[in-house]
Amino acid sequence: MNGTTDQTRHQDRVWSVAEHLDDVLSKIDPLDPIELQLLDAQGCVLVEDITVPVALPPFDNSSMDGYAVRAADVADATESTPAVLTVIGDVAAGSGELPGIEPGQAVRIMTGAPVPPGADAVVPVEWTDGGTGQGPAASMRAHSAAPQDAGGEVRVHRPAAAGAHIRARGSDVTEGEPALRAGTVLGPSQIGLLAAIGRGTVRVHPRPRVVVLSTGSELVQPGEALGPGQIHDSNSFQLTAAARDAGAIAYRVGAVADDAETLRSTLEDQLIRADILVTSGGVSVGAYDVVKETLAALSAEEGTVEFRRLAMQPGKPQGFGLIGPDRIPLLALPGNPVSSYVSFELFVRPAIRALMGLPEVHRPTTPAKCTEAVASSPKGKRQFLRGSYDAEAGTVTPVGGAGSHLIKAMAHANALIIVPEDTTEVPAGAEVDIVLLG
Ligand code: AMP
Ligand code: MG
């Protein structure tokens, strides 16, 4: 199905960054919703409208430690002529049994405890003598959690209006009200609300499982000694970390040698646990560019991956397609570490976020003043230089050069400076658009 003519046609055409991105996103739909435990749903997009089943708070409760009283009983209380009430018991948070309050009576009450019947106000402990009218020791006892003997007295020195220091049932949210709409991204406060209204699980688009594999016979795992001509595999680590950062569950597969059979069988093995596959290396025109050789030649049943040239630097060669029986998206990124990372940020991150159904899939961009001149940007290509952005000053300073092997410079950058296709130089002090890398 991937006939030579088709292949040639695609190779001849140069794709813009936007065209490639549109093509990727047009073939990606949010993952089917699943029911997840609350904390597993953090960062995910809700797919159901959630209604409040029971009002919050579910019952009138005290907002202070103090005494539940009848407001009428303390209406005339002053410092010199306190209202003297009989304390008939204690109500702690979680109390189920509530004593009823008659005129002249009070109940010691803790924050969050239900207001007992008959009471219509809470007097904070600071407005009282603390619970016996017998001096400071008793006042301290009133602050402790120890139950107070019924039959004691409390002197109240200030009046409290009806409803004072009572959090009324439903004052936060009432029964039947919408709590959260479908499409909401679940952050800590949304998860807190769901828990408060008693939801243990919610329906969301799950986090995609991203399988990251790097290719290259020169690659050695970090921690192992290098032989002649070998380098450490940094891409699979960088891309796996970037996938997690984008919100995915990421699986790093160790580097695969430049061997078609190994690559093919590794991909086959990995398909089972992947919602999206990301490879690095082997996509240009070298003799051992095994990713391209292998994936461009898939049978119709196996899927289709197209390899294209983009009007972009770094990151010119890119592969994208759908493979396996479930047509899992695969993005084949170039091997140079800066190229693979920039490609990830531009294409894979939005793809991951589209799979999550997130409303905003792109990194934010902002204009900034470029502190240094950019001498020669390639004509006809969108260039992404690494930059250090100073938000306070609104400036960005290029870090390192354009070389796509400059791993250290990448690690010291927090932004990508965009030099548009038709711009070949940027004078110092000129405004540029930058991608904020978070
Ligand atoms: P390739 O696209 O496979 O031709 O690789 C381009 C350059 O990137 C070569 O210098 C590779 O050695 C280097 N490279 C490829 N994969 C990795 C990797 N996983 N980690 C670090 N460098 C890599
Ligand atoms: Mg290679």
CATH code, 432: 2.40.340.10
What is the rounded distance in angstroms from the CA atom of residue 234 to the CA atom of residue 250?
Answer: 15
pLDDT class of 151 with cuts at 50, 70, 90: low
Q: Relative to the alpha carbon of 343, which ligand is closest? A: 1
Nearest CA to ligand 1 atom 8: 336
pLDDT class of 12 with cuts at 50, 70, 90: confident
pLDDT class of 144 with cuts at 50, 70, 90: very low
Tell me: do 256 and 345 sit in the same domain.
yes
Mean pLDDT for the chain overall: 93
Residue 149 predicted with pLDDT over 90: no
Residue 3 predicted with pLDDT over 90: no
CB of 280 shorter than 6 A to ligand 1:
yes
Q: What is the pLDDT of residue 401?
A: 84
CB of 231 shorter than 6 A to ligand 1:
yes
Tell me: do 276 and 303 sit in the same domain.
yes
139 is in which domain, residue-wise?
61-167
Mean pLDDT of 294-316: 96
Residue 317 predicted with pLDDT over 60: yes
Mean pLDDT of 377-387: 96
Residue 366 predicted with pLDDT over 80: yes
Closest CA to 281 of 349, 218, 346, 348: 218
User: Is 1 a domain residue?
Assistant: no
Residue 91 predicted with pLDDT over 90: yes
User: Is 7 a domain residue?
Assistant: no
Tell me: do 21 and 40 sit in the same domain.
no
CB of 254 shorter than 6 A to ligand 1:
no
Q: Which of 215, 220, 230, 231 to mutate to test the pocket of ligand 1 (most atoms within 8 A of CB)?
A: 231
pLDDT class of 150 with cuts at 50, 70, 90: low
1 or 64, which is more confident?
64
Residue 23 belongs to domain with CATH number: 3.40.980.10
Q: What is the pLDDT of residue 321?
A: 98
Q: What is the pLDDT of residue 1?
A: 42
Tell me: do 411 and 269 sit in the same domain.
no
Domain count within the chain: 4
Mean pLDDT of 254-263: 95
Residue with tokens 């609300």: 193
Tell me: do 216 and 278 sit in the same domain.
yes
What is the rounded distance in angstroms from the CA atom of residue 374 to the CA atom of residue 390?
Answer: 18
Dihedral sign for Cα atoms in the order 143, 148, 152, 156: positive
The H helix count followed by the E strand count for the chain is: 11, 27
Residues 170-187: tens digit of each pLDDT: 999 999 999 999 999 999
Tell me: do 340 and 374 sit in the same domain.
no
Residue 185 belongs to domain with CATH number: 3.90.105.10
Domain boundary at 137, 167, 197, which?
A: 167
Q: Relative to the alpha carbon of 255, which ligand is closest? A: 1
Mean pLDDT of 196-223: 97
Q: 11-14 contacts: CB < 8 A, separation 24 or more?
A: 11/307, 11/308, 11/309, 13/308, 13/309, 14/308, 14/309, 14/310, 14/311
Q: What is the atom index within ligand 1 of the atom nearest the CA of 236?
A: 19
User: Is 229 a domain residue?
Assistant: yes
Give residue 335 CA to ligand 1 midpoint distance, Å: 4
Phi and psi, residue 353, nearest 5°: -70, -30
* Model confidence, pTM: 0.89
Give bridge partners of residue 365 from the DSSP assignment.
435
Cα–Cα distances in angstroms (integers) from residue 41 to residues 10, 34, 426, in the given order: 40, 10, 44
Secondary structure (H, E, C), 263-326: HHHHHHHHHCCCCEEEEECCCCCCCCCHHHHHHCCCCCCCEEEEEEEECEECCCEEEEEEECCC
CB of 281 shorter than 6 A to ligand 1:
yes
